[in-house]
Structure 1
Amino acid sequence: MARTRSHLKDLTEYAAVRTAVTLMHCFDVRSNLATAAGVGSLFCRLHSRHYRRAIEHIADAFPDWSHKQCERVAMRSIENMFRIFMVDSMVMPRLITRSTWPQYLRVGNLKDAMDHFIRDEPAVFITGHCGNWELLGYALAVLDYPLYALARPIDNPLLNDWLLGVREARGMRIITKWGAIPVLQKVLRTKGRAGFIADQDAGEQGLFVPFFGRLASSYKAIGLLALRYNVPVMGGFARRIGDRFEYELSTLDVIRPEDWADQPDPLFYITARYTHAIEKAIRQAPDQYLWAYRRWKSRPRHERTGRPMPSRLIAKLESLPWLTPQDVATIVDRSNQAARQQIR
């Protein structure tokens, strides 16, 4: 009986989503984007917990901003999320094709990445929950540079299968998280491209690197794959232009094997640098980042146990060339403050 109720629930959700998408096709894209933003604004009022969390994260990342600025960016951030899922993801297969993509996509500083793609060499490609992370891999596939992207399957199998078809319509291949590493290893061995959304909390076993002045848990797999197969890590960004379905594609950073060859801890260096690249993208368009996500949820062991930051971790921070001594001091001080709060 439980299985029947579960199936009925899945079927009901699927029918509701498909009906909503069909209705939205009756209107132009600009109107649908405005509607999606309105739904996002309503969501902020009905689910204020997510809205408040977004405001807190923004205020923490931009301490010089006023509360009004933080509120405005938090609202815009959630509106952007609804635009992506309600509109952008649905119209991509229709609007972004090999003949029509120049109408909607601007090519920014993609030279380094494109040179690599043209040579048909393997790489690990990363982006964050900023701009339109769904569009980035899709656009590369349309440009005839498909990649294998890691993604968590949706719990509803009917919705999952349908959205999988949408995502893979132009050649991108989606790999579910469960058991994905062997597949990605094969992709890189055969000179393919592996894609990650790389700003998700990796839990207490992740690698803690700087992100907006605080330590954040990041996945080791990206750096480990780059090290094992000696391939570059490329950061990309699809930034929305205005409130339209129009984007600029750009390269955030290209981390090459020679860049980490002389580093004291190559894995830490790669992970910290790609995380820094994502931070740079967010600073370009802070209202397009998913601030409601709990990016700093997991904490390093020394904070959880109420101890000061270990000297070896401080040394690793000091080895990162983009951090100033003041940056390092701020990260250490904030981490030690968090540790002291654990023992009160």
Structure 2
Amino acid sequence: MGMRWLRDWLVYLLVRFFVCLVQAVRPETCNVFARWLAVLACDVIGVRRRTVDENIHLVFPDLTPPQRRLLARRMWEHLLLMVCEIAQAPRKIHETNWRHYIDLHRHRDAVRYLLDQRPIVLVSGHYGNFELTSYVIGLLGFPSFSIARRLDNPFLERYVHRFRSANGQFILPTDGTSGQVDEVLRSGGTIALLGDQRAGPRGCWVDFLGRPASCHKAVALFTLISGAPLLVCYGRRIGGPLRVKIGVEAIADPHQAGDHLSGVKELTRWYNAALERIILADPCQYWWLHRRWKGDPNDRRRRPPSDRQAKPNGWKRQAA
């Protein structure tokens, strides 16, 4: 117990030192570091190289190996810069200057639903800077509740919780959280979820970017049972560091009938199609290291109950 406490404490100190270092330098400097570290992670160390390459090849089978490698490197550059942006956001983006960094798309629709007396479900993916998106939404006065697994390191858990809750981003644990979610929905609150989380063989299987993917049924059930509008959102980088476009891609409102609201499968397929459009607009900003397509829908029938638990452009021409 003593050694684990010491290890967690040292890791926490290392993270805090990194955050202080990032906050002390200019965002443009972080951008340069992110580019060099992306080369290191992608081309030298090869972090999750096989998973990233397989995922890109599944979605874009026409890309050559050099083109896939360039896309992977751009992904790492985006991901590493995202980490720096999260550390810098509290010091750089405030209530009085957020317009210098953030562009809003369909914000009138978003605000109208956020001010509605009904609950609301915000769905995004491992795309763009989704953490900064949640930060800005909270900064603008719209608190939200997310469902996430607690970190094993208690010091980091408290630190991350303080960062997120400072502007009204509250985290509900994945275990035993159904009662809390029901309370949030009954009180007209906002639930923010990542819609591209893998749900295992017992999930709802739909096509995602051309391949079967398992999705959590709860995402659709929150809307179908509570009547909460479901908004598919994104936070896409549109320029240099901390320059993000936050927008709404699609809205499913139970007060407006449609075939996509006829069941869990239909609504799950609908919001995954919206996520596809977001990702294909700039594939470099998606987390291709994410094991989104792991598993087989046929496993649902094979496993016993005891086992339950478009084409890119722009960058492509540069990879000759």
Q: TM-score, normalised by structure 2?
A: 0.89
- Can you list the C-alpha shifts for 1:282-324, whole angstroms capped at 9, x where unaligned? 001100000011000122126985xxxxxxxxxxxxxxxxxxx
Equivalent pairs: percent with the same residue?
Answer: 30
CA contact (8 A) 2:22 2:88 kept: no
Indicate the residue corresponding to 2:26 in structure 1: 28
Correspondence 1:19-98 to 2 at 5 A = 19-48=17-46, 50-85=48-83, 87-98=84-95
Correspondence 1:105-184 to 2 at 5 A = 105-184=102-181
The 3 A distance-change label for structure 1 pair 303 and 227 is closer
Indicate the residue corresponding to 1:187 in structure 2: 184
* Equivalent of 1:218 in 215, 218, 226: 215
The 3 A distance-change label for structure 1 pair 97 and 142 is same
Shift of 1:50: 1.0
Instruction: For structure 2, list consecutive stretches of 5 or more residues without a partner in the other structure.
Output: 303-320
- Can you list the C-alpha shifts for 1:53-112, whole angstroms capped at 9, x where unaligned? 212211211223332221111111122112222x11111212222111101101122332
- Code of the aligned partner of 1:52: R
**Structure 1 CA distance for aligned equivalents of residues 27 and 62 of structure 2:** 36
Equivalenced residues, count: 303
Indicate the residue corresponding to 1:333 in structure 2: none
**Structure 1 CA distance for aligned equivalents of residues 19 and 184 of structure 2:** 34
Runs of 4+ in 1 over 4 A off after TM superposition: 258-265, 302-305
**Structure 1 CA distance for aligned equivalents of residues 261 and 246 of structure 2:** 33
Correspondence 1:224-235 to 2 at 5 A = 224-235=221-232
* Equivalent of 1:254 in 247, 251, 257: 251
Correspondence 1:248-287 to 2 at 5 A = 248-258=245-255, 265-287=262-284
**Structure 2 CA distance for aligned equivalents of residues 178 and 17 of structure 1:** 26
The 3 A distance-change label for structure 1 pair 262 and 275 is closer
**Structure 1 CA distance for aligned equivalents of residues 87 and 278 of structure 2:** 24
Indicate the residue corresponding to 2:297 in structure 1: 300
- Code of the aligned partner of 2:283: P
**Structure 1 CA distance for aligned equivalents of residues 251 and 93 of structure 2:** 26
**Structure 1 CA distance for aligned equivalents of residues 242 and 111 of structure 2:** 23
- Code of the aligned partner of 2:149: R
**Structure 1 CA distance for aligned equivalents of residues 182 and 300 of structure 2:** 34
**Structure 2 CA distance for aligned equivalents of residues 14 and 98 of structure 1:** 29
The 3 A distance-change label for structure 1 pair 118 and 29 is same
**Structure 1 CA distance for aligned equivalents of residues 105 and 260 of structure 2:** 30
CA contact (8 A) 1:152 1:176 kept: yes
Instruction: For structure 1, list consecutive stretches of 5 or more residues without a partner in the other structure.
Output: 306-344
**Structure 2 CA distance for aligned equivalents of residues 120 and 31 of structure 1:** 44
Kindly indicate whether residue 100 of structure 2 is the aligned counterpart of residue 103 of structure 1. yes
**Structure 2 CA distance for aligned equivalents of residues 264 and 34 of structure 1:** 45
